[in-house]
Homo-oligomer: A and B are copies of this chain.
Amino acid sequence: MSEEKKTSLESIGEFGLIEELTKDFKNKRGSTIYGVGDDAAVIEKDGENVMLVSTDALVEGIHFNLMYTPLMHLGYKAVVVNLSDIYAMNGTAEQITVTIAASSRFPKEALEELYKGIKKACDIYEVDLVGGDTTSSVSGLMISITAIGTAKKEDVVYRNGGKENELIVVTGDLGAAYMGLQILEREKSVYKANPDIQPDLDGFDYILERQLKPEARKDIVKFLAELGVKPTSMIDVSDGLASELFHLCTQSDLGAVIYDEKLPIDTSVSTTAIDFDISPTTCVLNGGEDYELLFSIKQEDFDKIKGNPHMTVIGHYAAKDSGLYLVDKQGAAIQLKAQGWNHFHGQKGN
**Across the two chains, which residue of chain B brings its CB closest to A143?**
B144
Q: Does chain B have a CB within 8 A of A200?
A: no
Residues of B within 8 A of A138 (CB): 59-62, 139-140
Contact with B along A241-276 (1 / 0, CB 8 A): 000000000000000000000000000000000000
Q: Contact between B343 and A135 (Cβ–Cβ < 8 Å)?
A: yes
A22-30, A188-196, A282-290: which lies at the interface: A22-30
Residue from the list B10, B107, B119, B350 in contact with A135, Cβ < 8 A: B350
Q: Contact between B115 and A22 (Cβ–Cβ < 8 Å)?
A: yes
User: A residues 147-175 with Cβ under 8 Å of B?
Assistant: 148, 150
Alpha-carbon distance A49/B229, docked complex (angstroms): 32
Task: Determine which residue in A51, A130, A138 has the highest number of CB atoms from chain B within 10 A of its CB, and name it.
Answer: A130
Separation in Å of the A14 CB from the closest CB of chain B? 6
Residues of B within 8 A of A57 (CB): 99, 101, 133, 135, 144
Residues of B within 8 A of A36 (CB): 129-132
Separation in Å of the A136 CB from the closest CB of chain B? 5
**Across the two chains, which residue of chain B brings its CB closest to A137?**
B59
Q: Contact between B107 and A6 (Cβ–Cβ < 8 Å)?
A: yes
Q: Does chain B have a CB within 8 A of A339?
A: no
**Across the two chains, which residue of chain B brings its CB closest to A135?**
B343
Q: Contact between A17 and B62 (Cβ–Cβ < 8 Å)?
A: no
**Number of A positions contacting B (CB below 8 A):** 85
A40-48, A215-223, A303-311, A314-322: which lies at the interface: A40-48
Contact with B along A105-135 (1 / 0, CB 8 A): 0111111110100010010001111111111
Alpha-carbon distance A41/B132, docked complex (angstroms): 9
Q: Does chain B have a CB within 8 A of A53?
A: yes
Q: Contact between A343 and B132 (Cβ–Cβ < 8 Å)?
A: no
Known: A1-B113, A21-B112, A59-B137. Is A131-B41 also a contact (CB below 8 A)? yes
User: A residues 57-113 with Cβ under 8 Å of B?
Assistant: 57, 59-63, 71, 94-95, 97-99, 101-102, 104, 106-113
Alpha-carbon distance A25/B144, docked complex (angstroms): 18
Q: Does chain B have a CB within 8 A of A329?
A: no
Task: Determine which residue in A5, A25, A71, A146 has the highest number of CB atoms from chain B within 10 A of its CB, and name it.
Answer: A146
Q: List 8 A-B contacts (CB under 8 A).
A: A1-B109, A12-B108, A20-B112, A21-B134, A43-B94, A46-B46, A53-B130, A54-B97
Q: A7-B108, A14-B135, A45-B45 are in contact. List 8 more A-B contacts (CB 8 A).
A: A10-B104, A18-B134, A32-B94, A35-B95, A35-B131, A43-B94, A138-B140, A139-B140
